[in-house]
Amino acid sequence: MTDEDRSATTHFGFLTVSKAQKALMVADVFHSIAEKYDLMNDLMSFGIHRLWKRFAIQCSGVRRGQKVLDLAGGTGDLTATFSRIVGEKGDVVLADINESMLKMGREKLRNRGILGNVSYVQANAEALPFSHNIFDCIIMSFGLRNVTEKDQALKSMYLALKPGGRLLILEFSTPRCKLLKKAYDLYSFHVLPCIGNIVAQDARSYRYLAESIRMHPDQEMLKSMILAAGFNKAEYFNMSGGIVALHRSYKF
């Protein structure tokens, strides 16, 4: 394979595909699982994803009156909480590249009476359709691993943040303990697709989920990528033994 061929391809889980093909394949995954997304999150994490997200919100430093971007925000769990935190004078933008996920998020939040300070934008993280320097905080929860050009997405987030703004990336990562990693691999590649097949009638999408986690940069690599995009003071916090990590950085 030539250098030109490599530059035109990327990974979809363990498969090598063209970059254009990956975007379509990821879209198909989330169109397929959108209706069962919240239920599957609870089942496959045993509800612990709520604690991971709560910690991310605590680390965000978001205050009343601020403007927050919930990027790849899916069905809006984080948006709902940030809406309450920023209050009537604040703004929260729920953005997702996938139309089905964004529709589910809009319906869920509106059914909960969350209306006034939340807006919805279908957006690609690699080229955010926002002015520069407008958000106090950008958070991306379990979405970065699905982005084809992660470096470009991080640069786009940097531009959208205000000076002094904070970026938080909550994502599956690399377990620190070898024994935990073996157990996690067993669960991911054997149990998780079975749950997906039973609940969502879609084992393939949850097999991709497990593979995409393994192909995602580990904690130190992602930290280096964030710094290379221009951010300052990048740090990360391991949770559940490193199964998940929260990266936090600042734009100064």
Q: What is the DSSP letter of 69?
A: E
148 is in an annotated binding site: no
Instruction: Identify residue 19 by its one-letter amino acid code.
Output: K
Instruction: Name the packing angle between helices 219-228 and 150-160 (round to 10°).
Output: 50
Contact 205, 175 (CB under 8 A): no
Distance CA 29, CA 20 (A): 15
72 is in an annotated binding site: no
Q: How many CB atoms lie within 10 A of CB 213?
A: 19
23 is in an annotated binding site: no
Distance CA 157, CA 153 (A): 6
In Å, what is the CA distance from 155 to each residue of 123, 159, 225? Answer: 15, 6, 10
75 is in an annotated binding site: yes
141 is in an annotated binding site: yes
Residues 6+ apart with CB under 8 A from 82: 57, 60, 62, 68, 70, 92, 139
Q: Where are the alpha helices (DSSP H) in 140-191?
A: 150-160, 178-186
DSSP H or E segment with residue 41: helix 37-45
Tokens of 118: 């939340």
* Binding site members for S-adenosyl-L-methionine: 75, 96, 124-125, 141
* Binding site members: 75, 96, 124-125, 141
